[in-house]
Amino acid sequence: MKKIVLFLSVALISLGVEAQVKTPQPSPSSKIEQVVGLTDITVEYSRPSMKGRTIFGNLVPYDKLWRTGANKNTQITFSDDVKVGGKELKKGTYAIFTKPGKENWEVLFYADANNWGTPREWDDAKVAAKFSVKSNKIPFKVETFTIMFSDFKMDSALLNIFWEETEASITVEVPSKEKAIASIETALAGPTANDYYQAAVFHKEIKDLAKAKEYIDKAVSLRKDPAFWFHRQQSLIYAGTGDKAGAIKAAKTSLSLAEKAGNADYVKLNKDSLSEWGAK
């Protein structure tokens, strides 16, 4: 009986945990995923509403640090190094804090992005970028706090903050030119040794050994630092084509490189193959 009572107690507790009440949040969360140029930018924030309240200068005091939203501090993540408000910022995730003023806002990108509201203890060393932007009055009311991107160019966009009758915009500059040039140069340079290696392995698996041999030879010739796994595949492909002498030579090279690298698995594989092929 005691065991049954204990079992029922645990079951009821489990049901209680699973059956938590869910209600609409007054400041629902929102997530923006935006590509600017060639850079991925993600913004995660909560969206409070006016609900008849005066916002700036009242609910959000002037010249006081604000989480720029509600609940947890607003977060922004960049996939590349960027510039915000003309200030350089390393790729990563930051909190966006602001100090709204009547005419200008101070904007702070803060390295600790996991605060509920503003940090209990502010650390100036964690301020990754700090600058001011102009605050503009707009001719209509925005009931719900809104962040959005606009004014897209090849290498920049505006991150806009709207609420009540106020708008503030942050210029975000991204390294599109540098990334595009690097991509073009890589493409024009042609396939890499690893590209040829992957192609060789694929063609070996589908039994197209002539193509596999062509690609593995190209891979080995392009590789600056000899790799034991390259020569291992070369030996297997050569053996498959009936070129036993070529297979033995490649296997010996792979064995030597594997021994230098301390890779016992490849040492054994090559020794077994050399024995099978009658190498001396």
Above 70 in pLDDT, residue 276? yes
Eight-class DSSP state of 124: G
Domains of the chain, by residue range, sit at: 24-178, 189-276
Q: Residue 2, class by beta-carbon neighbours within 10 Å (0-12 exposed, 13-18 middle, 19+ buried)?
A: exposed
Distances (CA, A) of 225 to 220, 230, 252: 9, 10, 16
Above 60 in pLDDT, residue 8? no
CA distance 243 to 277: 11
% the chain with pLDDT above 90? 82
Average pLDDT of every residue of the chain = 92
Above 70 in pLDDT, residue 14? no
Q: What is the mean pLDDT of residues 167-191?
A: 91
Condensed to tens digits (0 to 9), the pLDDT of residues 220-266 reads 999 988 899 999 999 999 999 999 999 999 999 999 999 999 999 99
Q: What is the mean pLDDT of residues 64-80?
A: 95
Q: Residue 234, class by beta-carbon neighbours within 10 Å (0-12 exposed, 13-18 middle, 19+ buried)?
A: buried
Q: What is the pLDDT of residue 185?
A: 87
Condensed to tens digits (0 to 9), the pLDDT of residues 111-158 reads 999 999 899 999 999 999 999 999 999 999 999 999 999 999 999 999
- pTM attached to this predicted model: 0.67
Residue 155 token pair: 């290498």
% the chain with pLDDT above 70? 93
Q: What is the pLDDT of residue 23?
A: 82
**Residue range 189-276, CATH number:** 1.25.40.10
Above 70 in pLDDT, residue 51? yes
- Residues contacting 222, CB < 8 A, separation 6+: 192, 193, 196
Dihedral of alpha carbons 30, 35, 39, 40, sign? positive
Q: What is the pLDDT of residue 10?
A: 46
Helices (H), 29-126: none
* Position 269 confidence tier, pLDDT thresholds 50, 70, 90: very high
